[in-house]
Amino acid sequence: MLKKLRRVFSGKPEAGSAGVPAPVSNQPPMNDRLMDSSSSTRLRLDQARIVERDKHCISRKNISNAALKVLYTLGNEGYHAFLVGGGVRDLLLGNKPKDFDIATDATPEEIKRLFRSSRIIGRRFKIVHIRFGREIIEATTFRAHHGPVDEGDEPEAGDFRKLDSAHSSSGMILRDNVYGNIDEDALRRDFTVNALYYTVNNFRLLDFSTGFEDLENRLIRVLGDPAVRYKEDPVRMLRAIRFCAKLDFSMEENSRSCIDQFAHLLQSVSPARLFDESLKLLAAGFAQPTFVLLKQYRVGEYLFPDTMKLLSRGETPENKLVQLALRNTDERLAQDKSVTPAFLYAALLWPVLRDELQWHGPDSLPNLPEIQTAANTVIQRQIEHVAIPRRFTIAMREIWELQLRLQRRNKRSIESAFNHPRFRAAYDFLLLREESGEDLDQLGRWWTDFQNGDTKHKTELTEAFARSRPKRRRRSRKKSGTGE
């Protein structure tokens, strides 16, 4: 692998790419004005290792035309602009980037003036989205390092950093719109492999840390002191885990060793933001290895506490169902098929629902009101940690409720379940239950035959199914009162 990466990092000089815009400005090329103080912000490269074109493999033909247009437009207007972050990292690894991000010394307002199809978004971190059809290029102004300033502090005269930055008492960044130069911006990035910058001027690469070496060694390393960086933004712990799973990298010792110590800081992150992060973790094509790491570190306990507690009891059908759901999600995404978060979250919380209902066999079938009450309880506890949107919780409830209807052996329940809009998801969920080892008396095969049969065959199956209905054991109800 090291030899392969060394070949990747020693690409051939670029002869040009068809369809790629070229600079039209009369200004000198970027390498001649890296220290040009006439620019809007004096670019500094005190810490950068500059890699010439013949020493790396990135080619413009692998960069989207939209990203190139942003780079050239900013450059032609006198600004410094770089492709940065995951796009550069993935290009160096020989992968196809999902998106392209730009870092520049132009302010958000200056960027917006140059691109009509752009808009400034965010308050915590102000960025610009530039739209080209369906593609969105994200442009950010170079950020500067700054000391902690408490939210609510009154700024002193002339202290603009207090106006544009704020930290919580624990050190978490609440707002970060302090602008600086490229050296400072690089040190504000989370991991060394994301602190790599690419410029279309002479097609150079800039490495501000140990990014190249860490890519070769397949290592995720936090830039700076991991304890400080995790306090600034606890989500960085989740990002470190996500990149390890996605890239099949290991985590550098110092970056790894303090995750459990600071996992509790995730409680200070809004449940809405943790939902977004959970989607990146589990619905991006590498859910299985990610979930293994979530269980390995304590961070998983702050995302899905009830699920993690039950899964720690050992190998059970519910445990295996979660693993199968994660695997199927990865397989569908690898085949460019759609996935719904509702199905995945229904699987993740299925062990919790079963435990709440004490529903562990055919003789313990709950009734519909019991399922609805338990589902409300389980979801309410979960959204205190990860705020699953209502459109997904509604679908989760329907998938769970249909499990009962699919197991009922009467004509009315069969017709009601089959005609339900969520039938297909519930049927797939039923198959997962059987595959996980739950004994459902070949119910999945029956529903498969039912779907494939004609009207006559459906009638015959329904009648035979109804005749085979076992007597349902009544569930004993707890006595209320004095507890006698």
Which residues are known catalytic residues? Answer: 99, 101, 190
Helix (H) or strand (E) holding 115: none
Give the other-Cβ count within 10 Å of 437's Cβ: 13
Could you tell me what percentage of the chain is helix, strand and coil, using 3-state DSSP and rounding each to the nearest 5? Answer: 50, 10, 40
Sign of CA dihedral 451, 452, 458, 461: negative
Torsion region of 436: left, alpha or beta (phi above 0 gives left; psi -120 to 50 gives alpha): alpha
Helix (H) or strand (E) holding 251: strand 250-251
DSSP 290-347: HHHHHHHSGGGGGTSHHHHHHHTT-S-HHHHHHHHHHHHHHHHHHTT----HHHHHHH
Q: CA 410, CA 466: separation in Å to the nearest integer?
A: 5
Instruction: Output the CA–CA distances (angstroms, integers) from residue 308 to 283, 296, 314, 358, in the order listed.
Output: 18, 10, 11, 18
Alpha-carbon dihedral 302, 306, 307, 313, rounded to 10 degrees: 120
Torsion region of 152: left, alpha or beta (phi above 0 gives left; psi -120 to 50 gives alpha): left
Three-state SS letters, 152-179:
CCCCCCCCHHHHHEEECCCCCEEEECCE
User: Are 88 and 40 contacting, i.e. CB atoms less than 8 angstroms apart?
Assistant: no
Helix (H) or strand (E) holding 250: strand 250-251
Burial of 83 (0-12, 13-18, 19+ CB in 10 A): buried
Burial of 131 (0-12, 13-18, 19+ CB in 10 A): middle
Give the other-Cβ count within 10 Å of 186's Cβ: 27
Give the other-Cβ count within 10 Å of 38's Cβ: 8
